[in-house]
Structures are given as structure tokens and as C-alpha cells.
Amino acid sequence: MAWKTLDDIDLDGKVILARVDINVPMEAGRVTDATRIERIVPTVKDILAKGGKPVLLAHFDRPKGKVVPEMSLRQVLPALSGALGVDVAFAEDCVGDAAAAAVAALPAGGVLLLENTRFHKGEEKNDPEFAAALARLGDVYVNDAFSAAHRAHASTEGVARLLPSCAGRLMQAELEALEKALAKPDRPVVAVVGGAKVSTKLELLGNLIDKVDAVVIGGGMANTFLAAQGIDVGKSLCEHDMADTAREIMAKAAAAGCEIVLPVDVVVAREFKAGAENDTVPASACPPDAMILDAGPESIARIATVLSGARTLVWNGPLGAFEIPPFNLATDSAARQAAALTRAGRLLSVAGGGDTVAALNSSGAAADFTYVSTAGGAFLEWLEGKTLPGVAALDQ
């Protein structure tokens, strides 16, 4: 990639349109998880330090091109101001007279947040006129929203083609971590792929098999692979209609010299609830009235062996029903081992996706991974080998 960073463009005295992702969860008017806000702080502070005036472009929720008052970005102002340590100004629109007046009034050292870009239909349509209206507000465009980079929207792709453009610090860190993990990795490379369904991870598995040395498959996905081998998985979550696809993936992996690591023993229960009575049985011996909710101790030991021989790890999806103890053991133990190997300098570990972040946080391992991405769809599409419009637009 030939994208520029904040170090490659003169920002002094210029208005910097910075596309950020502050689409944070809210409850009763308060931000309940400020992670995304905290992650844009280095970019905003760098723009200020280089003499630029940061004007933040962002979306919130899905208003579908209409003004929806409860989806206004005004409600994140207290959390944003607190994280940045400055009173952030607010404009009632992201284009037009209100936005232009707010930009003109922005003093040196000030930060301005524009209203939800998705209040305009032109945003998601990547309408050239709407992109041009946004571009007229600034001198330089900075994209710091990797999590929205898989969308070809006006504020993620259109504006980048109209102004001198670069990646913000969060986008830069994300791209550098992903390039190290998949474009130029230290080998052996291991991928951990979990979650409920094979059908949602087909392109991911297809791309990874050609790039990694081993794929550890867990969660509901593993049940589909076990069933494809003729194993009865009882009442487990399983896509029986994907059996042929699972067999094709295993054949492709064998041809590519990529090891597929499936559970050899499993933890089963009759109820899907915390503390449910459970048994550990061989993967081939799930009782007909039970469901597989986690990998067993032999499988955990096998995963540990695979991880201990790896130099690079890419992780997407939990290995079991991690949110319901005691079915979090496989996910937690693999996550903690990856964290320990990373701390010891023996492993580069990159993880991402909603459930993945939650699983690594609950295991206490997230802080020690090399990089944990808060992006969901964009992270997955990058791993699938797709070109992300918001990143491609910076490559000029």
C-alpha cells in the first residue's frame, strides 16, 4: 500500500476533515463503552500538535438518509470532550451554511464535530455532489475509521479523492498490523476461526487456507466440520446443509498443506445456561440429546501445541459459548496462551471482530495481543482478501 500518514502532509494552519468512527453504544443518554472514542484521541491530538484544525466527520446508527433526533451525534459530545480534554464544538449539519459557519468560527487549538453524515441520503450513495460539499469544508482529508473503510460512502471514499488524503494513527496502526499478519508474516502462521456459522466465514476460510499454515476451527463452525465427517453432533448448533462445503474446504486445505485443527474432545450439556451440568466426551461421542458448547481439555492441549509453534496469529471468533461459564475454557486458555507468547516476544497476534473483542476482553488477554481491531465487517473483509474502498482511496 502506498498510503500516506499524518507525517507526510503539512497540516499547519489547515482545516483537517478527519473521518472517525465514534458510533458508540449508548444507554439513557450516556456512552456505555467509549473504546472507539478513546482510539481516535492520538489522531486528533497529532493534528492539533501539527497546527491543524480537526473537523470530525462521523456517522451514528442507521438513520437511512433522514434526520432522526435520537441519532444525533450531539449526545456523544460529553464523552468526546472528556477524552480529548477540550470542549468540542458542534455543528447542526455536516454540510451547508451551518457547517461552513462552524468551521469558520473554529479557533486554533479547537475541535469541531459535524452532525451525523448519514442524515443525508448522499452519504451512503457516495453521491459526488455530497462528497464535494463535504470537501469544500476542509483542506486535507484524514481517514481514521478503518471500521467503516469497507463502505464506499461519501465520507469514507468520495472525499478522499477530492482532497490531499492520508491515514490517521488508528487507521495506520490497523493497516500496519494486518500487513504484518498476512501480507509479510513470519511463519508459521496460525489462524483461529470460530463463531456460529460456516456460511458467514466461507470467503475468510477460502482466503486464509492459501496464506496460513494451520487453521484452528472452533465454536458452532467446528460442529459443521465434524458432521461433515459423519460424526453425530446431537442437538448442537450445526449447518448440516454446509457439509459438502466443509468437505471442500478440508480438501483444499490438504492440497495447500494447511492443517485444519478440529476438536478431538468436546464439552456437552443438555441446557444452554450458565453452570449447566456438563460432560466431556470424545468429539465422536456426543449424546443425541446433548449439544456441544466448548472444546475439551485434549483439544485445548492440542491448540496450545499449535500456538506454541506459531510466529504469527490471526484470530476471528470464539472457540465455544464463551459468554456462558464454564463453556469459556477453550477460548480463555487459547487467548491467555497467545497473550503470554506475545508478551514473551515469540508471537505477533492480531485479532478482530465483535465477538472476538468481547471474548478476549472477558479472558483478560486483549491488552497483551499485538493488535486488537474494533472493526467488524472491515476486519473480516480484509482477511477475506477484499479491497476496502476507504483504504484504496488513500492509495494515490
- Three-state SS letters, the chain: CCCCECCCCCCCCCEEEEECCCCCCEECCEECCCHHHHHHHHHHHHHHHCCCEEEEECCCCCCCCCCCHHHCHHHHHHHHHHHHCCCCEEECCCCHHHHHHHHHCCCCCCCEEECCHHHCHHHHCCCHHHHHHHHCCCCEEEECCHHHCCCCCHHHHHHHHCCCEEECHHHHHHHHHHHHHHHCCCCCEEEEECCCCCCCCHHHHHHHHCCCCEEEECHHHHHHHHHHCCCCCCCCCCCHHHHHHHHHHHHHHHHHCCEEECCCEEEEECCCCCCCCEEEEEHHHCCCCCEEEEECHHHHHHHHHHHHCCCEEEEECCCCCCCCCCCCHHHHHHHHHHHHHHHCCCCEEEEECHHHHHHHHHHCCHHHCCEEECCCHHHHHHHCCCCCHHHHCCCC
What is the reported pLDDT for 387? 85
Q: What is the mean pLDDT of each run of 10 residues along the chain (396 residues)?
A: 88 98 93 93 98 98 96 97 97 98 97 98 98 98 93 95 96 90 91 90 90 96 96 96 95 97 98 95 98 98 98 96 95 98 97 88 95 85 86 81
Catalytic residue among 51, 96, 377, 385: 377
Catalytic residue among 36, 53, 118, 151: 36
Catalytic residue among 110, 206, 354, 376: 354
What is the reported pLDDT for 72? 97
354 is known as an active-site residue: yes
What is the reported pLDDT for 219? 94
151 is known as an active-site residue: no
What is the reported pLDDT for 345? 97
What is the reported pLDDT for 318? 95
Tell me if 111 sits within 8 A of 56, measured CB to CB.
yes
Query: What pTM did the predictor assign?
Result: 0.85
What is the reported pLDDT for 264? 98
What is the reported pLDDT for 396? 58
What is the reported pLDDT for 1? 57
197 is known as an active-site residue: yes
62 is known as an active-site residue: no
Catalytic residue among 4, 14, 197, 270: 197
